[in-house]
A and B are shown apart, each in its own frame.
Chain A
């Protein structure tokens, strides 16, 4: 019965380092989303998974960002050669099927605050 879980809740890294952010969606949810939120702004879409496959990665800002969901459950967002501009809250959400026709609710985790020094 747990909600969407994201770890770590906070991550501090140095410029140029590699980071991984983890998302555990609600059990049984096949759709998983990653968003990024900068201070004072609304969440910005990054990537959407339906099952194991990335159905839409059009929101990833560049090729330093990559996400996987190998078994269709847990997902990892990977950022290479981090830059100070990557500092933000990274939010994960899941929904039952990801079918817009069903007007599904998205359930969000509390996010990972990434700080790149």
Chain B
């Protein structure tokens, strides 16, 4: 039972902002939204996470809707090195037994020159 829904793939232009959507309509009040990405032949890499406020770090921004049923990961200036599979994951942060990340199939993002 997938907790998130993401498009299978998307293309974006180098130098432009890439907006990656994620639906999590059954998210609970104590669940965070996490984003990881996986570049070819590497392990997943943490990008960002948030609960209900928008978050920004050196890699990306995370915009969460007010009802928390969906979110968007924004890569402000996509480069060819951002080509990867992007995983949106919801995870309970305050359950002692729920420490593992459950990955779906993710979105394959291809940045084109």
Per the bound structure, the CA–CA distance linking A109 and B104 in Å amounts to 19
Cross-chain contact B105 with A56 (CB below 8 angstroms): no
Nearest CB in chain B: distance from A21 CB, A:
14
The yes or no answer to B58 lying at the interface (CB within 8 A) is: no
Interface size of A by CB at 8 A reads 29
Chain B residues lying within 8 Å of A45, measured Cβ to Cβ, are 100-102
Which parts of B55-113 form the interface with A (CB within 8 Å)? 85, 87, 91-106
Which parts of A69-117 form the interface with B (CB within 8 Å)? 91-93, 98-101, 103, 105-111
Cross-chain contact A91 with B99 (CB below 8 angstroms): no
Cross-chain contact A4 with B95 (CB below 8 angstroms): no
The yes or no answer to A8 lying at the interface (CB within 8 A) is: no
Chain A residues lying within 8 Å of B49, measured Cβ to Cβ, are 103
Interface size of B by CB at 8 A reads 27
Cross-chain contact B43 with A93 (CB below 8 angstroms): yes
- The secondary structure that dominates the B interface is loop
Chain B residues lying within 8 Å of A43, measured Cβ to Cβ, are 44, 101, 103
Instruction: Answer whether A56 and B100 are a contact pair too, CB < 8 Å, given A41-B105, A42-B87, A42-B106.
Output: yes
Per the bound structure, the CA–CA distance linking A9 and B102 in Å amounts to 24
Q: Which B residues form the contact surface with A (CB < 8 A)?
A: 32, 36, 41-46, 49, 85, 87, 91-106
Q: Which A residues form the contact surface with B (CB < 8 A)?
A: 4, 31, 33, 35, 40-45, 48, 55-56, 59, 91-93, 98-101, 103, 105-111
Task: Known pairs A93-B44, A100-B96, A103-B32; list 16 more (Cβ under 8 Å).
Answer: A4-B43, A41-B105, A42-B87, A43-B101, A45-B102, A48-B99, A92-B43, A93-B43, A98-B99, A100-B95, A101-B94, A103-B93, A105-B46, A108-B42, A110-B41, A111-B43
